[in-house]
């Protein structure tokens, strides 16, 4: 009887862990999307959107170091379809 109870408790622990993992993945995805939106708002002038005032954009540029690096790497791989596939796998 106790082995069945242990298996049931173990089953529910596994279910809880899977749900926590899924929730963490969703939060990470939302964070990446918010970073993309932030960079689009700051660097919107490159794609035809209205840009924020220059002093504000210059103050925010140090926080956008990673986004600028990603943007430059994507522009380098724009003509390389195999490179874009590998970048989706996040292989360094």
Neighbours of 43 (CB within 10 A): 19
pLDDT digits (tens, 9 = 90+) for 57-85: 888 888 888 888 877 776 766 666 676 66
Classified as helix, coil or strand, 51 is coil
pLDDT digits (tens, 9 = 90+) for 20-63: 999 999 999 998 888 888 888 887 777 777 878 888 888 888 88
**Where exactly are the structural domains of the chain?**
2-88
Instruction: Determine the Cα–Cα distance for residues 56 and 48; give it in Å rounded to an integer.
Output: 18
pLDDT given for residue 60 in this prediction: 82
Using a pLDDT cut of 70, give the percent of the chain over it: 82
Using a pLDDT cut of 90, give the percent of the chain over it: 22
Q: Please say whether the beta carbons of 89 and 83 come within 8 A.
A: no
- Orientation of helix 65-76 relative to helix 2-42, angle to 10°: 80
Does residue 17 have a pLDDT over 90?
yes
pLDDT given for residue 16 in this prediction: 92
User: Cα 18 to chain center, whole Å?
Assistant: 20
């Amino acid at each position: 009887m106790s082995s069945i109870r242990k298996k049931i408790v173990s089953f529910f622990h596994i279910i809880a862990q899977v749900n926590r993992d899924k929730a963490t993945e969703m939060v990470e995805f939302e964070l990446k999307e918010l970073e993309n939106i932030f960079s689009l708002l700051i660097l919107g002038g490159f794609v035809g959107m209205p840009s924020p005032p220059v002093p504000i954009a210059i103050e925010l540029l140090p926080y956008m170091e990673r986004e600028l690096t990603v943007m430059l790497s994507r522009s380098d791989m724009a003509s390389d379809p195999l490179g874009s596939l590998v970048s989706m796998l996040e292989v360094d």
